[in-house]
Amino acid sequence: MANTPVSPIRVPVRAPACDGLFMPGEWAEHEATWMIWPCKPSAWPFGMDRPRLAFAEVAKAISRFEPVYMMCRPELLDQAAAMCGDAVTLVPMDTRDSWSRDSAPTFVVDGKGGVAGVDWVFNDWGHIARYEGGYDEAMALMVLEHLKMRRYAAPCIIEGGGIHADGEGTLLTTEQVQFDPRRNAGFTRQDFEDLFAAYLGVEKTVWLGNGLEDDETNGHVDILACFARPGVVMVHDCTDPDDPNFQVSQDAIKRLEAAKDAKGRSFEILRMPQPTPRYNGDWRMDLSYINFYIANNGIVMSSFDDPMDETAFRLMCEAFPGHEVIQLPSLDIFAGGGGIHCITQQQPKGAPLPVF
């Protein structure tokens, strides 16, 4: 699989939309959740015990609502089993890192009970294995082969954390991440919109600007804004004018206020407070309550030992009535460069469509 930016392509030969497939909203019923057991010490130089415990707690929380599959290096299976217990089904795989949102498939559905997967080109967020241990460029392929599910190989570098869909034809993304020259040099806005239409069934792309300060992914949308349901967007809200994230938040809110979705609706905007900035050496961790996971009838979200934790929990409960909200300490996850949404990938309910 290529690990350098690919040339723009405007009309794919065979893509999900050709077969009536689209990306559902994350609140659509799930068959399961996919995670990866942490295995890269260079991502957590302070040690792996605390991150692994945090991953296990997320898996246990999600397992209350739906099955969890944990991809795991064979030599770590006993450790993962001991820490996760019966909460997960372990799947032996040659994993290199821990971020299934970005390296696992983006699943698409046909609306009739069939599910397939999009295998984006993955190049380590443009870093090309900056950390020791390699990266999971083959993860999506391995998952789809394990599931015996149809695979659509996409001709572009996209990560799951860089896109967020409402299931009704609208997609959120950022200019910063998609126009990163380390990913898809030469792609135009129209190139991306054509690809989102072909591979995700998207009719309207809403472009936000930059991501949060020091985000190692260089602008993923899933710590800045997400759909809570069609027509409703939750946004990371920094209110300190002296904080670089203030301009990011304000720009995102202004763009959303001016935009309409694929159905012609204006957006209802739910503002989620920013926690107090925390640093890992000179690097600011991109802490955000936006980076949460929607399970079947449940929400798993972060706490940061922060004064805003309680407010964020209350707002999340209000945004998702009828869901049980579980708040888990997540600083040890974010210390590795991402959050709860980054370490999970939902598989929509349905039967695998046959392989071509």
**For the segment 44-84, what is each residue's pLDDT rounded down to a tens digit?**
999 999 999 999 999 999 999 999 999 999 999 999 999 99
pLDDT band at 9 (very low <50, low <70, confident <90, very high): very low
- For the chain, give the percent of residues with pLDDT over 90: 90
Point out which residues pair with 114 in neighbouring strands: 351
Place of tokens 């064979």: 74
Note the pLDDT of residue 241.
Answer: 98
Q: Active-site residues: which are they? A: 342
Average pLDDT over residues 149-168: 97
Note the pLDDT of residue 190.
Answer: 97
Average pLDDT over residues 25-35: 98
pLDDT at residue 24 tops 70: yes
Span of 131-135, 211-215, 284-288 with lowest mean pLDDT: 131-135
Query: What whole-number distance in Å separates Cα of residue 149 and Cα of residue 164?
Result: 22
Note the pLDDT of residue 126.
Answer: 87
Query: What whole-number distance in Å separates Cα of residue 197 and Cα of residue 162?
Result: 15
Tens of pLDDT, residues 176-231: 999 999 999 999 999 999 999 999 999 999 999 999 999 999 999 999 999 999 99
Q: Which domains does the chain have, with CATH numbers?
A: 17-352 (3.75.10.10)
pLDDT at residue 129 tops 60: no
Count Cβ neighbours within 10 Å for each residue of 320-353 and write b for 16 or more, e otherwise.
Answer: beebebbbbebbbbbbbbbbbbbbbbbbbbbebb
Average pLDDT over residues 305-330: 98
Span of 104-108, 113-117, 181-185 with lowest mean pLDDT: 181-185
pLDDT band at 132 (very low <50, low <70, confident <90, very high): low
pLDDT at residue 134 tops 70: yes
Average pLDDT over residues 265-284: 96
Question: What is residue 85's three-state secondary structure?
Answer: helix
pLDDT band at 13 (very low <50, low <70, confident <90, very high): low
pLDDT band at 136 (very low <50, low <70, confident <90, very high): confident
Question: What is residue 228's three-state secondary structure?
Answer: strand
pTM of the model: 0.95
Query: What whole-number distance in Å separates Cα of residue 249 and Cα of residue 225?
Result: 9
pLDDT at residue 5 tops 80: no
